[in-house]
Chain A
């Protein structure tokens, strides 16, 4: 079982739709939960991060962490064609003195005009 699972998509939605992207994980030591956006043939860029459980909002983006279910989500409101990209979840924490920073495989999103 992978430590982080993420549906690869592609996920196609019409412009203006609410998008929900998700990851599950197995390591309860993870404390930081991140979402990166990666445009084609570019490096990933950090969108948002959350420490421990809870919600965090930044403009049209909301990140949600449920540590009891080991489940994290990224919601995109009023999606735009410019949001078309691959979204990678990531998580970090220390396990038995070893620090880990793990990425999901990414979900490819297409927002159709």
Chain B
């Protein structure tokens, strides 16, 4: 089965701790994305990567970090510097960034992070 997996589904952390969210895809897609979803605010882009070993900040990158060492993996670290980290985090991928093929994004099931 081709798709995007995110783990874990639910994650609980104490304030002040860094936490890493996993995202893996076997769709052979070049581009990968991290979004945050909060009630009433829709999807907000945190980071995106168009190729291995390269990534760019999205609209709300502060307090987050990413890496893209392999094409199929794009982990997101929520650091203690993120002031309001409790949210639903979604990872997505698309086949060809910045071209006519980029009408589609495929999403994982999401990770709900709760920080207390």
Which residue numbers of A lie inside 8 Å of B, CB to CB? 6, 8, 32, 34, 41-46, 49, 51, 88, 90, 92, 94, 99, 101, 103-106
Contact = CB atoms under 8 A, between A and B. Distances in A.
Contacts, number: 49
B44 to A, nearest CB: 8
Contacts of B2: none
Interface of B: 4, 6, 35, 40-43, 45, 88, 90, 92, 97-98, 102-110, 112
Given A99-B97, A99-B102, A101-B102, A44 B40 contact: no
B58 to A, nearest CB: 10
Given A94-B98, A99-B98, A106 B104 contact: no
What are the 6 A-B residue pairs with the smallest beta carbon separation, nearest first?
A43-B107, A105-B42, A32-B103, A103-B43, A49-B103, A99-B98
Say whether chain A's binding surface is mostly helix, strand, loop, or mixed. strand
A3 to B, nearest CB: 11
B109 A42 contact: yes
Given A41-B110, A42-B109, A103-B43, A51 B103 contact: yes
